Structure 1
Amino acid sequence: MAQAIQTVLRDDALVLRFLKGQGSRLVVVFTGIGAGFGDRRLDEFAASASDGGANNVLFVTDRAASWYAAPGLWDRIVDLIRATCEHEATTELVTLGNSMGGYGAMLAARDLPVARAIAFSPQVTMDRDLLADARWPDVAAKFGPLPIRSTAELVGQGETRFFVAVGGDCAPDRAHVDLLPAHPNLHRFVLPVAAHNLARSLKEAGQLSQIIAAIIRGRTRRVTTIFNRYARGVAA
């Protein structure tokens, strides 16, 4: 029988849900704004992150959509992820997210031993002085200091391998990934005929689960092959 996603924490600022797996890998999924902040929808990437029940999965939802800038929120999240790793005897930590969640997946590499961070259509920065992206609120003005000026600062600063994918038809998303420096630990994919909803486009094409599974398992060459296959298919 498949395990159910259990809500382990819920308050005004944060929701944590946990899906028990059979192995010692923990995948932390930072949900985006579109995930819904209640239990009305299946959590983003649940099936893909679980990989058929192989992985433990922790879902993290910033209920205020503060990009983790709400006072004290990011420190709480880091502490709770650490506690989950300890409780589950985690041997490998992978993060995953879309949009705001992609920002969180990248940010986690600053404070946690993330092996691979997977970010679909992420905001690389929420600092208006670095990139004025009018799609999103002025987080610093609304909530206070940002948890990081730019996640671009993290590329090449540790052992984390970053996998970042955006839709080529979304100019603002391309502007974000253009902030990322070239580095062997950064794998950047700009996909044709896709906008900010790239993850949904990949899912509709039957590729999303394969891509996430390949990244989680560290199969970089297969990831590139699948992305290239998708790009050829939509461009045909």
Structure 2
Amino acid sequence: MALPIDTLLRDDELTLRWLPGSTPRMVVVFTGLKARVGGQPLDEFARSASMSGQNNVLFVTDERASWYSARGLWARIVRSVRTIRNAEGIREVVSLGTSMGGFGALLLPRDLRVTRAIAFAPQVTMDRAVLDDIRWPDVAKRWGSLVERDLPATMGTTRTQYYVSAGGNCPEDLGHLNLLPEHKRVHRFVLPRGRHNLARSLKDAGVLSDVIAAILRGNKARVERLYEKYAEVMA
């Protein structure tokens, strides 16, 4: 059965979709290319993020795939998240995304109070001088600037707990993971045999919803156990 996801805003740059929940927690999900999350349709991923209707979920889509660097786009996103948070009486914000969406999930704590930021196979820089990841567009060349040139440097300035996962069989994603700072609030995970589409692999292994729920609750020990289960399935 389709979930009651309402479109709050849609234009050439930005789409915002809303799934109401029963608790004062909001999960801000940054979608990836083609408005999907880890290759999954929106409704399918919404079930994991909402935890069976407990969490409010706001889906944020960069329609131009600019890595949020289109002029004024990121400021619009931050204002929108803040407005919805205040209007809905939200007391806890968590961000979540994969790939380009993972970049957004890790960036949000720079500008808003976020309890936990969850990213699967994210890019942590789009600066070709730092990491020349040719899988993606040259954002600075296309859009004239980057919304953030050094995302890892922002992590030490927040109070957010970061959970970042990459696949062991994806050297490019490991390159991004290795740029993260050594910090007690930055939790990094390398999944054996994992490739770029980690969310799909975790779902196929039957642990995606449980992993997301464990991170949403801040239960790192359970995340580690679930990743051990994933490794056993993939062995």
Which secondary structure state, in structure 2, belongs to the residue aligned with residue 71 of structure 1?
Answer: coil
Shift of 1:140: 0.6
Seen in structure 2, the aligned counterparts of structure 1 residues 233 and 41 have a Cα distance that, compared at 3 Å, is: closer
Which secondary structure state, in structure 2, belongs to the residue aligned with residue 173 of structure 1?
Answer: helix
Q: What corresponds to 1:64 in structure 2? A: 64
Seen in structure 2, the aligned counterparts of structure 1 residues 2 and 33 have a Cα distance that, compared at 3 Å, is: closer
Instruction: Give yes or no for contact 1:2–1:53 (8 Å, CA) kept in 2.
Output: no
Structure 2 residues not aligned, in runs of 5+: none
Letter in 2 for 1:16: L
**Alignment of structure 1 residues 161-176 onto 2, 5 Å:** 161-176=161-176
Shift of 1:45: 2.3
For 1:4-50, what per-residue CA distance to the aligned partner results, in whole angstroms no more than 9, with x for missing partners?
0000100000000000001100000000014359xx94356211110
Seen in structure 2, the aligned counterparts of structure 1 residues 118 and 44 have a Cα distance that, compared at 3 Å, is: farther
Instruction: Give yes or no for contact 1:31–1:44 (8 Å, CA) kept in 2.
Output: no
Shift of 1:232: 2.9
For normalisation by structure 2, the TM-score amounts to 0.95
C-alpha separation in 1, matches of 2:61 and 2:35: 8
For 1:163-213, what per-residue CA distance to the aligned partner results, in whole angstroms no more than 9, with x for missing partners?
000110000000000101111101100101111011100001111000001
**Alignment of structure 1 residues 54-203 onto 2, 5 Å:** 54-203=54-203
Letter in 2 for 1:145: S
Shift of 1:230: 1.1
Which secondary structure state, in structure 2, belongs to the residue aligned with residue 114 of structure 1?
Answer: coil
For 1:49-76, what per-residue CA distance to the aligned partner results, in whole angstroms no more than 9, with x for missing partners?
1000000000000000000000000000
For normalisation by structure 1, the TM-score amounts to 0.95
Query: Could you tell which deviates more after superposition, 154-163 or 56-65?
Result: 154-163
Q: What corresponds to 1:210 in structure 2? A: 210
RMSD in angstroms over aligned alpha carbons?
A: 1.7
Which secondary structure state, in structure 1, belongs to the residue aligned with residue 94 of structure 2?
Answer: strand
Shift of 1:234: 1.3
C-alpha separation in 2, matches of 1:12 and 1:158: 32
Structure 1 residues not aligned, in runs of 5+: none
Instruction: Give yes or no for contact 2:121–2:173 (8 Å, CA) kept in 1.
Output: yes
Instruction: Give yes or no for contact 1:97–1:104 (8 Å, CA) kept in 2.
Output: yes
Instruction: Give yes or no for contact 2:199–2:208 (8 Å, CA) kept in 1.
Output: yes
Shift of 1:218: 1.3
Instruction: Give yes or no for contact 2:2–2:43 (8 Å, CA) kept in 1.
Output: no
Identity %: 56
C-alpha separation in 2, matches of 1:201 and 1:63: 25
Size of the aligned set, in residue pairs, is 233
C-alpha separation in 2, matches of 1:96 and 1:130: 24
